[in-house]
Amino acid sequence: MPRTARPTVALTAGLAALLLSGCTGGGGSDGQGKDFAGAVPGRAKAGATPSPTPTPPPTGPYVALGDSYTAGIQLPPQTGEPRGCSRSGANYPSLVAKGLGVASGQFRDVSCSGATTGDLTGAQNTGNGSNPAQLDALSADTRLVTLGIGGNDAGFMEVVIECAKDNLMDAVKGAIKQTRAASPCRDHYSTGDGTDGVQHKVDAAGDRLGRVLQDIKRRSPQARVYVIGYPTLFPADPSSCLPVLGTTVAAPDLGFLAEKEKQLNAMLRTHAEAAGAVFVDTAGPSAGHDMCAGEDQRWVEPPVPARGLAPIHPNAKGQEAVSGVVLKALRG
C-alpha cells in the first residue's frame, strides 16, 4: 500500500524533537603516526606471492566508542549507565562482541548519544547522568576498538533541521507569491568562496578526529582500531522521498544533504587511513535502505519514525546490518 505523504509540520516537529533530544546522526590532521597494530593488510595481486593468512580478529578486550549511531538510541533493551546515553544492548558493538565470542568481562561499550570528539577525552553531561571520558575505558591491554564519531562535531543533525526550516520558510514565500529559491538550504550555507559552512565544520571535525586517533594509539598501542562510517540517510533519487517527506524539502536540498553526508564519511576515511586505522564503510552496504525506503527495507528511520524509535537514526535492522559489515571487516 502506498504511504501517505507526511505534512510539513510533522517533518519539522520531528526534526525539532531530534535536536532537543541531543542526538547525533556523520582538512589537515595531527594524525600522521605509524600504523595501529593489526591493521588489515592489502590483498595480494594476481600472480603475486600470496599474503600471509590474515590475523584472526581479537576476542577482547574490546572497547566501543561513539555517539548515538553507535549507542543505539531508543532501541530496547536500554542498558548501562548513565541512562542519558540511551545505550542499547542490541547495538552493533554488542552484536559484534557476540559475533566474536568476546566474554562479557572483556567488552566495554561506553558510547553515548550526543557525543562529540570532545566527549572522548572529557566527561559528557547527558542531562540524565554524566558519562566519563570515553577514552578512559582504554588500556594497554585493549586489543580491539571501534569508533563511530564526527556527526555531532560537524553539526550534521542541525543541518538537517535547518534545511527543513529553510524549506518551510521558502514554502511560505511561495504561498504569498514571492519568488522561491531552487535550493534554499544550500543557499543558507553558502560562504561565497566555492565551499560552504558545513564543509568547514567537517574539516574542523577531521582535525579533532586525527588527534583522537593518536590518543587511542598512545593508550592502546596493541589495539586494532576501526572507524565506523555513517549509513546512507538519503536516496540517490530524491523523488523516492516524496511518499515519506512530501515536498517539504526541495529535491536539490535533499541532494545537498546527501552530498554533505558523503563529505563527512570521506573525512572519516581520510583521517582513519592517515592514522593507520581501518575505515569501515557502511554507506555503500546501506544504499537502498535509507530513511525513504519502505518500512520493511529501511535501516534508518525517517523524521517521523515508527512508534518508539528515534528519528533519523538506525533501527534494529540497521544496527544488525552494521554489525555484519563490521564483522566482515574484522574477519577480512
Any idea which residues carry the catalytic annotation? 68, 313
CA 156 to chain centre: 10
Cis peptide before 61 (omega within 30 of 0): yes
21, three cell numbers: 533530544
Per residue, the 3-state secondary structure of 205-251, as one string, reads HHHHHHHHHHHHHHHCCCCEEEEECCCCCCCCCHHHHHHHHCCCCCH
Alpha carbons within 13 angstroms on the beta-carbon side of residue 234 total: 23
* Residue 66 Rama label (left phi>0; alpha psi -120 to 50; beta): left
H-only helix segments in the chain: 8-21, 68-71, 92-100, 118-121, 156-175, 184-189, 197-219, 242-245, 251-274, 316-331
Q: Are strands 144-148 and 62-66 parallel, antiparallel or unpaired?
A: parallel
75, three cell numbers: 532501541
DSSP assignment, residue 134? G
SS3 assignment, position 9: helix
Burial of 45 (C-beta count, 10 Å sphere; 0-12/13-18/19+): exposed
Q: Which residue has the cell 553558502?
A: 190
Q: Side by side, which strands form the sheet with 144-148?
A: 107-109, 62-66, 144-148, 224-228, 278-280
Burial of 285 (C-beta count, 10 Å sphere; 0-12/13-18/19+): middle
